[in-house]
Structure 1
Amino acid sequence: MYAVIRRVLGAAATVLLTSLLCFVLLRAIPGDPARVILGPLAPPDAVDSLRRSMGLDKPLLERFVLYLHDFFTGDWGYSYTSGLPVRTLLSERVMPTVELGLTAFVFAFGGALILALISTYRRRRAVDRGAMAWSFVGTGAPPFWTSLIALIIFWQTLHLFPGPEGRLGPGGEPPPSITGLYSVDSLLTLRFSTFADACWHLILPAAVLAFPASAALFRLLRSSLLGVRDDPFLTVVRGKGISPWSAFRKHALPNAFLPTLTASGLILGELMVGSVLVESIFSWPGIGQLIVQSIQGQDFAVVQAFIQLGAVGYVVINACVDILYRLVDPRVRLKSKVLA
């Protein structure tokens, strides 16, 4: 019980400190949102009146307390540039980002797992060196560079995938909204042509977004597998007549998977909130594209709500990882009982 309370308090402190830091930094950016809304030719009296109506004349701490109260009561404010409720803007953009992030996570985790198994099972030097070289490129290449290279190769040169067209091709009709995920909704409504179109537009940006995440997961999983592949318990397992591959897959992999589980939670959160550049380059109508436009227009309400949701999302994902840790590793459950 003590461990649960401590985690809840730590999560609340993380969200609060993140909110305060981002609130202060955003307000420190040069410029006046009221001036941005009214334009450079607006008279000073009109600008001052708008600043008072927006609450920009109040002390910073008072504005922060009011913001937290409004946010957690469901009032996220209005966009300075469009005049629409922030909740409406984000709700329209969140599901495309979720679809892109989840697909990228599947690509990243699946690719890292397969490559780590191939690289460590037989320890073929050429395969291992090639995989390590791939991981170094993946962790070092910036997303905007890999996005542009992927478009040049797979769109302009080979014509294998569509270009920066968004979620569907020109003239494509979105499926009826059930989950907000085009690939899922098109299957649920039996629109197979839309499903193929949605998947075809999803593969390339998801693969680009997954590239650095997959490289990081591969290096971590490879290191863990090398650490357990020669442990005595595997020798005992093989001595019982189990094939080397079965022993490696059923016994070495679960033991090496635990450190990767923690990193997977962090990477999933990063894929959800860190796709700004990829979405902008591929014209993907997600939150990332909205945030770029909001930063350029000094639309603090939208940016702050996005950061707040990102902090809450990270906390929720880490809580889920803790639960999975307890399910996968009995030693964690035993330690919790002893501490309780």
Structure 2
Amino acid sequence: MLKLLLSRLATAIPSIVGVVVVTFMLTRLLPGDPAAYFAGLAASPQAIAEVRTKLGLDKSLPAQFVGYIVDLAHGNLGNSLSTGQPVVAEIATRLPASAELTLFALILAVGIAIPLGVLAAVKQGTWIDHLCRIVTTAGVSLPVFFTGLLFAYVFYYLLQWAPAPSGRLDVFLSPPTHITGFYLIDSALTGNMEVFWGALRQLALPAISMAIFSLAPLARMTRGSMLSVLGSDFIRTARASGLAPGTVVFTYAFRNAVLPVITVLGMVFSFLLGANVLVETVFAWPGIGLYAVNALITSDYAPVQGFVLTMAVLYVALNLAIDLLYGLVDPRVRLDS
């Protein structure tokens, strides 16, 4: 297992280096001049030049890149020009909000998609199988931002069942004592159930919007993988041996069908990391996705670079966790490594 871990880390380092280089170049190629934006509409060319010098944008691209790498080596992602705060601090503040939303959506998707896919494979051709196809088709067809806008319009504006899409917590409630940064966990640990239910109500619509987007590939892969395994010789042998149907399905079939599902699970989680940018914008969720969008609009380089680098590190860590999970589920992966 250690050898597998080291080999995956060795392949991940070039990816991170590539992300750093590409992100630096792309932010410099974006339209717009940060110096002109922050100097103001009425600023003179001399004032804009002074701001550009102050920001270090008058230097050549290689000199700017070297300075960025030196700061990065010291754990410094720069300061946001919009807020004046260090990017590391702002990402650390906003990351729990994005992580709570993404993980809650993933848990919802897994809790619905995998049982639905297993039942659709076991009950092939029945109404459950048809329901699985309808749900997966709808999940693939509906963009996540459209689903979020539709939910906000129906459940908040028309029915008034949901709270206003205005962030993680109602304006009349105070955030719980900071322990993990996850409002649900922190409020539960401190026994503040009013905040817990308030945070859960705020989290419901954006999480369901993302869950619908992600459960489609999970359910389809689970169904397809289970159908393939259920037609295998060892499953027919297990059934002929008189084993209980539940034992055959879950102990033998699902365990052998779970590897492709884990692969898709990793892909879905990476998709959710990107989709949360749209959902956070729709629901005014104060995560790093909304932070990156606002920085991109103002041509604020440092937050955009910090956001992309954070997403790259999370993606690499996710793939590493998936590889390790492979080794736990299938010992042959450890032997092959």
TM (norm. structure 1) is 0.94
Q: Give yes or no for contact 1:78–1:301 (8 Å, CA) kept in 2.
A: yes
**Residue number in structure 1 paired with 2:64:** 63
**Residue number in structure 2 paired with 1:232:** 233
- Any residues of structure 2 matched to 1:81-92 within 5 Å, and which? 81-92=82-93
Distance, in Å, in 1 between the alignment partners of 2:298 and 2:214 is 30
Aligned identity (percent) is: 36
Distance, in Å, in 2 between the alignment partners of 1:314 and 1:143 is 20
Q: Give yes or no for contact 1:168–1:198 (8 Å, CA) kept in 2.
A: yes
Distance, in Å, in 1 between the alignment partners of 2:260 and 2:325 is 12
Distance, in Å, in 2 between the alignment partners of 1:93 and 1:3 is 32
Q: Give the gaps of 5 or more residues in structure 1.
A: none
* Residues 157 and 291 of structure 1, relative CA distance in 2, 3 Å threshold: same
**Aligned-pair distance for 1:273?**
4.0
Distance, in Å, in 2 between the alignment partners of 1:265 and 1:204 is 23
Q: Give yes or no for contact 1:167–1:202 (8 Å, CA) kept in 2.
A: yes
Q: Structure 1 stretch 297-306 or stretch 273-282: which is displaced more?
A: 273-282
**Aligned-pair distance for 1:175?**
0.8
SS at match of 2:242: coil
Distance, in Å, in 2 between the alignment partners of 1:334 and 1:227 is 25
Query: How big is each residue's C-alpha offset from its partner over 1:143-198, in whole Å with a ceiling of 9 and x where there is no partner?
Result: 11101111222223333322303212230111111111110000110111111111
**Residue number in structure 1 paired with 2:128:** 127
* Residues 283 and 4 of structure 1, relative CA distance in 2, 3 Å threshold: closer
Distance, in Å, in 2 between the alignment partners of 1:122 and 1:113 is 14
**Aligned-pair distance for 1:111?**
1.1
**Aligned-pair distance for 1:58?**
2.1
> Which AA in structure 2 matches 1:201?
Q
Q: Give yes or no for contact 2:229–2:253 (8 Å, CA) kept in 1.
A: yes
**Aligned-pair distance for 1:6?**
4.3
**Aligned-pair distance for 1:307?**
0.1
> Which AA in structure 2 matches 1:191?
N
**Residue number in structure 1 paired with 2:8:** 7
Distance, in Å, in 2 between the alignment partners of 1:217 and 1:164 is 28
**Residue number in structure 1 paired with 2:30:** 29
Distance, in Å, in 1 between the alignment partners of 2:123 and 2:5 is 42
> Which AA in structure 1 matches 2:280?
E
**Residue number in structure 1 paired with 2:47:** 46
**Residue number in structure 1 paired with 2:138:** 137
* Residues 4 and 243 of structure 1, relative CA distance in 2, 3 Å threshold: closer
The count of corresponding residues between Structure 1 and Structure 2 is 336
**Aligned-pair distance for 1:5?**
5.0
SS at match of 1:289: helix
Query: How big is each residue's C-alpha offset from its partner over 1:21-49, in whole Å with a ceiling of 9 and x where there is no partner?
Result: 22211111122111111112222222222
SS at match of 1:275: helix
Distance, in Å, in 2 between the alignment partners of 1:257 and 1:269 is 19
- Any residues of structure 2 matched to 1:67-82 within 5 Å, and which? 67-82=68-83
SS at match of 1:242: coil
**Residue number in structure 2 paired with 1:166:** 167
Distance, in Å, in 2 between the alignment partners of 1:71 and 1:274 is 27
**Aligned-pair distance for 1:3?**
5.7
**Residue number in structure 2 paired with 1:97:** 98
Distance, in Å, in 1 between the alignment partners of 2:3 and 2:335 is 15
Q: Structure 1 stretch 186-195 or stretch 54-63: which is displaced more?
A: 54-63
Distance, in Å, in 2 between the alignment partners of 1:26 and 1:294 is 11
Q: Give yes or no for contact 2:113–2:216 (8 Å, CA) kept in 1.
A: yes
**Residue number in structure 1 paired with 2:275:** 274
Give the RMSD, CA atoms, in angstroms.
1.7
**Residue number in structure 2 paired with 1:218:** 219
SS at match of 2:160: coil
Q: Give the gaps of 5 or more residues in structure 2.
A: none
**Residue number in structure 1 paired with 2:262:** 261
Distance, in Å, in 1 between the alignment partners of 2:59 and 2:3 is 40
Query: How big is each residue's C-alpha offset from its partner over 1:279-304, in whole Å with a ceiling of 9 and x where there is no partner?
Result: 11112111121112111111111011
Distance, in Å, in 2 between the alignment partners of 1:19 and 1:231 is 46
**Residue number in structure 2 paired with 1:335:** 336
Q: Give yes or no for contact 1:266–1:314 (8 Å, CA) kept in 2.
A: no
Q: Structure 1 stretch 93-102 or stretch 263-272: which is displaced more?
A: 263-272
Distance, in Å, in 2 between the alignment partners of 1:7 and 1:92 is 29
Q: Structure 1 stretch 181-190 or stretch 257-266: which is displaced more?
A: 257-266
Q: Give yes or no for contact 1:164–1:283 (8 Å, CA) kept in 2.
A: yes
**Residue number in structure 1 paired with 2:250:** 249
Distance, in Å, in 2 between the alignment partners of 1:121 and 1:193 is 42
Distance, in Å, in 1 between the alignment partners of 2:174 and 2:183 is 10
* Residues 298 and 267 of structure 1, relative CA distance in 2, 3 Å threshold: same
Q: Give yes or no for contact 2:123–2:129 (8 Å, CA) kept in 1.
A: no
**Residue number in structure 1 paired with 2:19:** 18
TM (norm. structure 2) is 0.94
**Residue number in structure 2 paired with 1:310:** 311
Q: Give yes or no for contact 1:76–1:301 (8 Å, CA) kept in 2.
A: yes
**Aligned-pair distance for 1:4?**
5.1
* Residues 41 and 157 of structure 1, relative CA distance in 2, 3 Å threshold: closer
**Residue number in structure 1 paired with 2:179:** 178
Q: Give yes or no for contact 2:5–2:324 (8 Å, CA) kept in 1.
A: no
